[in-house]
């Protein structure tokens, strides 16, 4: 088929163009070089195949493609991990934080204006008490990562329906306007980084216009961040080996969420507006009577810009977190509204050595009211929480070895988190990884300080298919 | 000519806004070096208004171990209505990775600018993440191969000075020197340009000690839609050892690839028809 195609193309080729390929032997030798201008030992390279020969170009060759990629099979990767905490923790029985092996299965089917994508993990998690499947809670031995139908009903509209992973915003592991659910548990115990993003069950409609593009995501039922697993990690207020009592919004079509992004490019700069209408993603509220944690209502409005600056990439992102029920209402307590601002810059320091720096501040609105309403059991937060992050990564050994360190440090909360990683590719298929999650802090009620007994190291082996 | 990897490097090396013309006495039957450079630029960079190819890459290290990469590449040149500088229009590239399998579905887009730093984005499908990539040092390895990043996104045309040193039966031989020697690892290079097709066939890079350390060679040329196209090339590292072979297949020009293909929309939803 390719051959036929090329022959047809050749027939259509004007003779004049073919003449370009006629041999050059007829041309006279150039005059001898003046002495000293060119080194005498410069030999002429041999002509490559197909050039300077009297022959017409080999018709079949350009089209005789090696197959583009082959059809990928069902099995995508096999990933095995082992993690252990480096200190005793009275609240957690097990010394292990991670003992698991998983197979990723993927299936994809395409039609003219549609495609279906299914990504699922078969997981053996030795630390899980209950391996029963709960697709909605993303628990059990079968985990549905993506199951979405993609449609293109119009040349300027894309639709994705079903379970999908969504990301937007400009931060590096800091999310202001990306309100899609996160799985910090997986992140903190050393699972592959993709598991930080928990999938959403939603309808995404994307429109592409001259002035701007728009993404609208509707999730008919609230998806919170996944909880920290109290069997593996201990944190402020965590009750040891029982789960946190929570009352999460879970009514279909009434406890729903809207995510919105409008974005465009302006030269090399990317500009975006964001909106969110839903709930706080973590259990930030509390019902005093029932003694359960709540997910109070939240709306977020934000903007971001990203573009080149001084040989690197600069980004700025802002979000206003409008806590709809802030303060104490009856027996329900909700957190204060906040402003969040992120400034980031990344550039290459030396060959294959990259540094990314971010400054992130969270500012509590109506701080006086916040302090008046604060419940005794909840952390006493500063008005401004400042955080600085640095990501340093270096590639070595023909890029087979990647060393990286991501550091979060909050000078105001006096806490932090280090994430050193070594990743080595044994060959095109197999890789090994060694890493650590190091938490530190002076107080046990700050974000990272509360996790300071959970410092762990882990190792992983992965094979891709 | 398709003008992606090796050929682009070479093409880039030939082009200069500061032509040092010392070659007039060398070859009386040769056109002025500006013309050779212009022509090579056209052949190496701007074959058709757009193009596509399947690229497979075999990387062999100094101990003989091999790694392979496979990708689909799309290219589109700015049309006259869009940004244009004489003979050096802006271009956009779309690189979709098929292999190795751990990066399958990853997409790199490059908006190559003639008058400013290139813009680059990397899409990581597992996280649905569109990452902006800093321009950085362009003379670092592209996906672990012996070809440099600059070999894909192109070398700024004002960065070298050139002289024609020989016009033989088959080749024009041109020597290039960086205008800013601090900015690159080579002291000079010598390039052989095929006389009738203006395809750069071989480039030898020399370091500060005048040692030949890096060699590019086009090893196979085919004519696609009337355009001579390098379909196999090789980059060799003489100092650290090892080499990378590039093979292009399914090369096609003038498909009418739209400008929107290089936007965020098609990072998330790859244009499968074009990538096959």
Distance CA A369, CA A367 (A): 5
Nearest residue of chain B to residue A208 (CA atoms): B265
CB A71 within 8 A of CB A55: no
Does the distance separating the beta carbons of B226 and A398 come in below 8 Å?
Answer: no
In a mutational test of the A interface, the residue from B23, B126, B197 whose CB has the highest number of chain A CBs within 10 Å is B126
C-alpha distance from A288 to closest chain B C-alpha (Å) = 38
CATH number of the domain at B118, please.
2.50.20.10
Distance CA B249, CA B238 (A): 27
Does the distance separating the beta carbons of A306 and B101 come in below 8 Å?
Answer: no
Q: What is the structure's pLDDT at A242?
A: 54
CB A133 within 8 A of CB A142: yes
The 3 state secondary structure assigned to A376-390 is: CCCCCCCCEEEEEEE
C-alpha distance from B240 to closest chain A C-alpha (Å) = 11
Mean pLDDT on A413-424: 96
The DSSP 8-state label assigned to residue B98 in this structure reads E
Binning pLDDT at 50, 70 and 90, where does residue B85 land? very low
Average pLDDT, chain A: 84
Does A366 score more than 70 pLDDT? yes
Both tokens of residue A109?
A: 């089917």
In a mutational test of the B interface, the residue from A12, A13, A28, A44 whose CB has the highest number of chain B CBs within 10 Å is A44
Report the domain count for chain B.
1
Both tokens of residue A3?
A: 């051959």
pLDDT one-digit tens code per residue, A246-257: 899 999 999 999
- Ordered DSSP codes for A282-311: S--EEETTTTEEE--EEEEEEEEEEEEETT
Does the distance separating the beta carbons of A2 and B141 come in below 8 Å?
Answer: no
Q: Which residues of B touch A29 (CB under 8 A)?
A: 168-169
Distance CA B265, CA B276 (A): 18
Identify whether B83 is part of a domain.
yes
Identify whether B148 is part of a domain.
yes
Mean pLDDT on A203-230: 93
Binning pLDDT at 50, 70 and 90, where does residue B81 land? low
Task: Check the CA dihedral B75-B80-B84-B85 and report its sign.
Answer: positive
Does the distance separating the beta carbons of B222 and A50 come in below 8 Å?
Answer: yes
Does B2 score more than 80 pLDDT? no
φ/ψ of A357, rounded to 5, equals -120, 140
CATH code: domain A101-393 is 2.40.160
φ/ψ of A2, rounded to 5, equals -65, -40
Identify whether B1 is part of a domain.
no
CB B177 within 8 A of CB B188: yes
ipTM for the predicted complex:
0.85
Q: Which of B28, B101, B223 sits opposite A429 (nearest CB)?
A: B101
Does A331 score more than 70 pLDDT? yes
Q: Which residues of B touch A24 (CB under 8 A)?
A: 169-170, 194-196
Q: Return the half-sphere exposure (C-beta side, CA atoms, 13 A cut-off) of residue A357.
A: 6
Q: Which residues of A touch B140 (CB under 8 A)?
A: 351-352
Does the distance separating the beta carbons of B169 and A398 come in below 8 Å?
Answer: no
Which domain does B93 fall in, by range?
Answer: 6-275
In a mutational test of the A interface, the residue from B90, B183, B196 whose CB has the highest number of chain A CBs within 10 Å is B196
The DSSP 8-state label assigned to residue A193 in this structure reads G
Name every residue whose Cβ is closer than 8 Å to that of residue A57 and which is 6 or more positions away in sequence.
A10, A21, A50, B222, B223, B224, B228
DSSP-derived 3-state class of residue B203: strand
Does A17 score more than 60 pLDDT? no
Q: What is the structure's pLDDT at B23?
A: 38
What is this structure's pTM?
0.86
Identify whether B30 is part of a domain.
yes
Annotated domain spans of chain A:
1-30+49-68, 101-393
Q: Which of A158, A168, A181, A342 is nearest to A272 (CA)?
A: A168
Q: Which of B165, B228, B231 sits opposite A20 (nearest CB)?
A: B228
Choice among A172-186, A213-227, B178-192, B247-261 with the minimum mean pLDDT: B178-192
Q: Which of B168, B196, B275 sits opposite A30 (nearest CB)?
A: B168
Q: Which residues of A touch B133 (CB under 8 A)?
A: 313
């Amino acid at each position: 088929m390719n051959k036929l195609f090329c022959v047809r193309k050749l027939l259509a080729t004007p003779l004049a163009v073919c003449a370009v390929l006629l041999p050059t032997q007829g041309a006279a030798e150039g005059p001898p070089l003046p002495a000293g201008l060119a080194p005498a030992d410069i030999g002429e390279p041999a002509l490559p195949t197909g050039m300077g020969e009297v022959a017409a170009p080999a018709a079949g060759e350009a089209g005789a493609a090696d197959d583009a990629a082959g059809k990928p099979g069902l099995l995508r990767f096999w990933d095995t991990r082992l993690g252990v905490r480096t200190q005793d923790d009275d609240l957690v029985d097990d010394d292990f934080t991670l003992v698991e092996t998983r197979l990723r299965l993927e299936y994809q089917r395409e039609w003219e204006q549609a495609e279906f994508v299914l990504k699922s993990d078969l997981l053996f998690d030795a630390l899980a008490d209950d391996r029963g499947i709960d697709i909605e809670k993303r628990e059990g031995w079968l985990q549905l990562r993506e199951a979405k139908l993609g449609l293109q009903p119009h040349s300027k509209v894309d639709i994705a329906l079903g379970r999908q992973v969504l990301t937007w915003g400009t931060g590096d592991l800091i999310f202001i306007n990306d309100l899609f659910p996160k799985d910090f548990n997986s992140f903190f115990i050393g699972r592959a980084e993709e598991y930080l993003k928990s999938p959403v069950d939603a309808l995404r409609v994307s429109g592409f216009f001259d002035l701007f593009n728009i993404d609208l995501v509707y999730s008919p039922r609230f998806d919170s961040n996944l909880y920290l697993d109290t069997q593996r990690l201990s944190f402020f207020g965590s009750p040891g080996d029982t789960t946190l009592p929570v009352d999460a919004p879970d009514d279909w079509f009434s406890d729903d969420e809207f995510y919105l992004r409008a974005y465009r490019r302006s030269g090399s700069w990317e500009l975006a507006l964001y909106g969110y209408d839903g709930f706080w993603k973590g259990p930030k509220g509390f019902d005093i009577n029932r003694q359960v944690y709540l997910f109070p209502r939240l709306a977020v409005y934000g903007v971001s810009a990203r573009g080149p600056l001084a040989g690197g990439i600069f980004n700025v992102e802002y979000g206003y977190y409008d806590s709809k029920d802030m303060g104490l209402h009856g027996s329900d307590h909700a957190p204060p509204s906040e402003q969040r601002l992120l400034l980031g810059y990344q550039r290459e320091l030396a060959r294959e050595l990259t540094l990314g720096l971010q400054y992130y501040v969270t500012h509590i609105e109506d701080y006086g009211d916040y302090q008046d309403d604060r419940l005794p059991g909840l952390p006493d937060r500063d008005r401004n929480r400042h955080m600085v992050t640095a990501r340093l990564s270096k590639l070595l050994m023909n890029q087979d070895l990647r060393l990286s360190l991501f550091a979060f440090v909050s000078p105001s909360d006096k806490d932090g988190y280090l994430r050193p990683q070594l990743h080595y590719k044994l060959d095109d298929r197999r890789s090994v990884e060694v890493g650590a999650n190091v938490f530190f802090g002076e107080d046990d009620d700050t974000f990272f300080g509360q996790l300071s007994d959970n410092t762990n190291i882990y190792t992983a082996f992965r094979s891709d298919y | 000519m398709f003008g992606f990897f090796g050929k682009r490097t070479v093409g880039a090396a030939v082009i200069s806004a500061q032509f040092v013309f010392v070659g007039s006495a060398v070859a009386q039957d040769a056109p002025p070096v500006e013309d050779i450079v212009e022509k090579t630029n056209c052949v190496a960079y701007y074959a058709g208004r757009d193009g596509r190819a399947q690229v497979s890459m075999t990387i062999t290290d100094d101990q003989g171990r091999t790694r392979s990469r496979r990708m689909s590449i799309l290219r589109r040149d700015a049309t006259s209505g869009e940004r244009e500088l004489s003979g050096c229009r802006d271009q956009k590239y779309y690189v979709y990775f098929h292999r190795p399998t751990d990066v399958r579905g990853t997409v790199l887009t490059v908006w190559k600018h003639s008058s400013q730093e290139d813009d680059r984005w990397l899409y990581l499908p597992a996280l649905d993440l569109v990452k902006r990539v800093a321009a950085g040092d362009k003379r670092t390895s592209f996906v672990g191969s012996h070809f440099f990043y600059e070999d894909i996104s192109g070398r700024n045309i004002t960065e070298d000075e050139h002289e024609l040193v020989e016009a033989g039966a088959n080749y024009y031989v041109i020597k290039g020197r960086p205008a800013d020697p601090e900015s690159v690892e080579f002291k000079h290079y010598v390039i052989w340009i095929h006389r009738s097709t203006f395809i750069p066939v071989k480039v030898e890079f020399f370091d500060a000690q005048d040692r030949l350390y890096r060699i590019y060679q086009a090893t196979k040329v085919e004519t696609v839609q009337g355009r001579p196209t390098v379909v196999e090339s090789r980059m060799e590292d003489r100092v650290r050892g090892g080499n990378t072979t590039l093979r292009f297949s399914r090369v096609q020009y003038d498909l009418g690839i739209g400008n929107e293909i290089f936007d965020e929309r098609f990072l998330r939803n790859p244009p499968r028809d074009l990538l096959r």
